[in-house]
């Protein structure tokens, strides 16, 4: 346990789980999309769905999609800023099943340049979060470290080549998770790293013919 665990995150809002965690989930969803959000369908499950207005979860999620940190003083006015940014949003209640964490949200996002993504994550307490699904691929990462997310063709050597590129640039891999739907089809990889990944490294990985998309996700 560290000091952060005891006193909680620096934030604006009444609840670390429902407010600070919600902002961080929005931040991660924005990073995964890879461009500013133009449309957001936000589905709330469990406790999020029951108490989101009282705890400001809706305001916090939009603030996260705008790229703001959990301690941004504008969070109570995030709806107004979203309108100014031409971010169209809809917030709905849903049931994601008994296995979903009570503080779960599913984002269906469209970016200003046409990108789209579906991201599911949960706020698990004390401002900590976990992303559990990206575009139908089961994953698990927290945003506590810089991460590289790739969507790539499931072929031998792709993972080794990506990790080799990182190693050659002095980037140490702290953890790695892979998910695929069908053998030889599309796969998703999340590499959490101790160092920040440079634009040059991203460009080299993006140029690989097996790579369909790559995202650098900075610590949220």
- Domains, the chain: 3-135 (3.30.1330.90), 146-217 (3.30.70.260)
DSSP assignments along 120-160, one per residue = EEEEEETTEEEEEEETTEEEEE-SSSEEEEEEEE--TTHHH
Angular region, 89: left φ>0, alpha ψ -120 to 50, beta rest: beta
Whether the per-residue pLDDT at 12 is higher than 60: the answer is no
Over the stretch 144-167, which tens digit does the pLDDT of each residue have?
999 999 999 999 999 999 999 999
At 7, is the pLDDT very low, low, confident or very high (cuts 50, 70, 90)?
very low
* Residue 17: pLDDT band with limits 50, 70, 90: low
Alpha-carbon distance of 136 to 198, in angstroms, equals: 28
């Amino acid at each position: 346990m560290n000091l952060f665990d005891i006193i909680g995150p620096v934030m604006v809002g009444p609840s670390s789980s429902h407010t600070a965690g919600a902002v961080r989930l929005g931040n991660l969803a924005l990073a995964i999309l890879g461009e500013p959000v133009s449309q957001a369908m936000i589905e709330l499950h469990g406790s999020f769905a029951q108490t989101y207005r009282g705890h400001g979860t809706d305001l916090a999620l939009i603030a996260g999609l705008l790229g703001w940190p959990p301690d941004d003083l504008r969070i109570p006015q995030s709806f107004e800023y979203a309108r100014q940014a031409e971010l169209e949003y809809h917030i709905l209640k849903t049931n994601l099943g008994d296995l979903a964490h009570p503080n779960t949200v599913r984002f269906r996002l469209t970016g200003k340049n046409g990108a789209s993504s579906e991201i599911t994550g949960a706020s698990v307490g004390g401002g900590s979060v976990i992303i559990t699904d990206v575009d139908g691929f089961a994953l698990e990462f927290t945003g506590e470290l810089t991460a590289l997310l790739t969507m790539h063709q499931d072929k031998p050597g792709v993972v080794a080549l990506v990790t080799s590129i990182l190693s050659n640039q002095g980037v140490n891999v702290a953890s790695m998770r892979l998910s695929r739907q069908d053998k030889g089809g599309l796969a998703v990889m999340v590499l959490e790293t101790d160092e920040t990944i440079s634009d040059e490294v991203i460009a080299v990985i993006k140029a690989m013919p097996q790579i369909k998309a790559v995202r650098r996700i900075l610590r949220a």
